[in-house]
């Protein structure tokens, strides 16, 4: 549990400095230790949104909502992921 907390805090620190790729890596390491902790999934979803990885963000939010069906952050970030996917789809149609 101590390693989990350390990795999560390191991920949070990377988010604060804008290093979303490294933060996502830390949250992924957390998930190997505890797959039921929803905050690391919503945190990683935030990182994926910042990195324009909308499908990955949506997947993380879907996972959280299977565990906690009323998680507001997961709903909000999934909506942002859907929005990003729609924009990407429209842009691809224009090419």
Measured between alpha carbons, how far is 62 from 43 in angstroms, rounded to an integer? 13
Q: What is the pLDDT of residue 75?
A: 97
Q: Mean pLDDT throughout 32-46?
A: 96
Q: What is the pLDDT of residue 67?
A: 95
Beta-strand ranges (E) seen in the chain are none
- Residue 23: pLDDT band with limits 50, 70, 90: very high
Task: Give yes or no for residue 83 having a pLDDT over 80.
Answer: yes
Domain 1-93 superfamily per CATH: Tetratricopeptide repeat domain (1.25.40.10)
Do residues 8 and 26 touch, judged by C-beta distance below 8 A? yes
Q: Is the dihedral of CA 59, 53, 34, 42 positive or negative?
A: negative
Measured between alpha carbons, how far is 68 from 17 in angstroms, rounded to an integer? 29
- Residue 95: pLDDT band with limits 50, 70, 90: low
Q: Mean pLDDT throughout 16-30?
A: 98
Q: Mean pLDDT throughout 11-18?
A: 98
Contacts of 88 (CB under 8 A, 6+ apart): 54
Q: Could you tell me the two tokens for 31? A: 């998930």
């Amino acid at each position: 549990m101590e390693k989990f907390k350390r990795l999560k805090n390191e991920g949070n620190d990377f988010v604060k400095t804008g290093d979303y790729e490294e933060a996502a890596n830390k949250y992924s390491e957390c998930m190997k230790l505890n797959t039921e902790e929803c905050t690391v999934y919503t945190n990683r979803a935030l990182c994926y949104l910042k990195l324009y990885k909308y499908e990955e963000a949506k997947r993380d939010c879907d996972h959280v909502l299977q565990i906690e069906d009323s998680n507001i952050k997961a709903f909000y970030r999934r909506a942002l992921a859907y929005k990003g996917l729609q924009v990407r789809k429209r842009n691809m149609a224009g090419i």
